[in-house]
Amino acid sequence: STFLFKKIHKEAEDMWHTYNLLQVGDSLRASTIRKVQTESATGSVGSSRVRTTLTLSVETIDFDSQACQLRVKGTNMEENQYVKMGAYHTIELELNRKFTLAKKSWDSVVLDRIEQACDAAQKADVAAVVMQEGLANLVLVTPAMTLLRAKVEVTIPRKRRGSCTQHEKALERFYEAVMQAIIRHINFDVVKCVLVGSPGFVKDQFISYLFKEAVRQDNKLLLENRPKFMLVHSSSGHKYSLKEILSDPAVTSRLSDTKAAGEVKALEEFYKMLQHEPDRAFYGIAHVEKAAEALAVDTLLISDKLFRHQDIPTRSRYVRLVDNVRDNGGNVRMFSSLHVSGEQLTQLSGVAAILRFPIADLSEPEDESSSDED
């Protein structure tokens, strides 16, 4: 039987949820633009663009995380005056436009994703600015993804003996640009905390500049939200330093209610276990499945990337694992492959588990690609 799911994209994160919901073979119905050829009474042929509603059988799905655009290509499934049955078309899903998704079956992972997408509380409540002299990355951390919103680069000349004017002017230009990015990209109605991380004193000098300017310009938005800014150490101004900021104990306690911080904490716990009690830390699908069969999995760490697998038996295998762990009282942590922690989990094959009790006899290497049903 086919169930329908109707959704309007309100924000960028909805696109990411939809990307994870879509599978090859689903049917997608949405409004789109089609170029059609028209013939006039005199026989001259022209072309025009018309808006029409199509239902496609999904064949390829492409997600651009920076632009937050989703393109779905497939063949037309329903009669349409402009598009023949079976003809190919690409639909670009846009913000604030309705679509209807139909599937032959809705598994537990898909239903969880829908619940998450519809939960208004789970939005981008953390922003981070990682910076070093001349480079800053402003990032929004949502439960599902890390969105780079602005990158600021300014060449800072070195201090010269007897004169620092050029150096200080360039620094001021840099701080001003970062300040503008914060004002433009951070919605303080939603964001509960703004992490500012850097090596050395760059963050302190920037915050000092930011609030001096806020007082001078009488910027009430910044002044009212001053308590939300939190200074932390990071080794650089590059985006990858975000992982180290999010795993800082002071930050984790402040962000304890956000999903991203929970993922980072679970991964830290897994690595600690791997170091101190390797018989209670497994990774790789075959090992983790065996641990789940032995009812040993306390926490399952799994990447959402695995559920975008086009091979249905492979996808079903991961869904079975998630259901098995949940049914036996284990916790399931679904990692987003667009988070830094998710990228790290992918390096461990995308699936790992912290066990309730040690299992020693699986430590010999085995072929991860086989299902090892015995």
Residue 58 has pLDDT above 90, yes or no: yes
Average pLDDT value for residue range 297-304: 94
Calculate the average pLDDT of the chain.
83
Main-chain phi, psi angles of 128, to 5 degrees: -140, 140
What per-residue confidence (pLDDT) applies to 47? Answer: 81
Q: How would residue 123 be classed by pLDDT, with cut points 50, 70 and 90?
A: low
Average pLDDT value for residue range 109-126: 68
Main-chain phi, psi angles of 285, to 5 degrees: -55, -45
Angle between helix axes 312-327 and 285-293 (nearest 10 degrees) is 40
Residue 275 has pLDDT above 90, yes or no: yes
Highest average pLDDT, of 65-74, 247-256, 264-273, comes from 264-273
What per-residue confidence (pLDDT) applies to 56? Answer: 93
Higher pLDDT, 53 or 251: 53
In terms of DSSP H, where are the helices of the chain?
A: 12-21, 108-118, 165-185, 202-217, 220-224, 241-246, 249-254, 259-276, 285-293, 312-327, 340-347
**Most distant CA pair in the chain, distance:** 83
Token pair for 263:
């993922």
Q: Read off the DSSP letter of residue 347.
A: H
Give me the percent of the chain exceeding a pLDDT of 70.
85
Region of residue 86 (phi > 0: left; psi between -120 and 50: alpha; otherwise: beta): left
Give me the percent of the chain exceeding a pLDDT of 90.
44
Residue 234 has pLDDT above 60, yes or no: yes
What per-residue confidence (pLDDT) applies to 112? Answer: 80
Q: How would residue 369 be classed by pLDDT, with cut points 50, 70 and 90?
A: very low
- Provide CB contacts within 8 A for 164, sequence distance 6+: none
Higher pLDDT, 18 or 151: 151
From the list 253, 131, 251, 220, the residue with the least C-alpha distance to 181 is 131
Average pLDDT value for residue range 139-155: 83
- In this structure, of 36-50, 276-290, 300-314, the range with the lowest mean pLDDT score is 36-50
**Total-model pTM:** 0.56
Using an 8 Å Cβ cutoff, are 101 and 21 in contact?
Answer: yes
What per-residue confidence (pLDDT) applies to 371? Answer: 42
Distance CA 320, CA 272 (A): 27
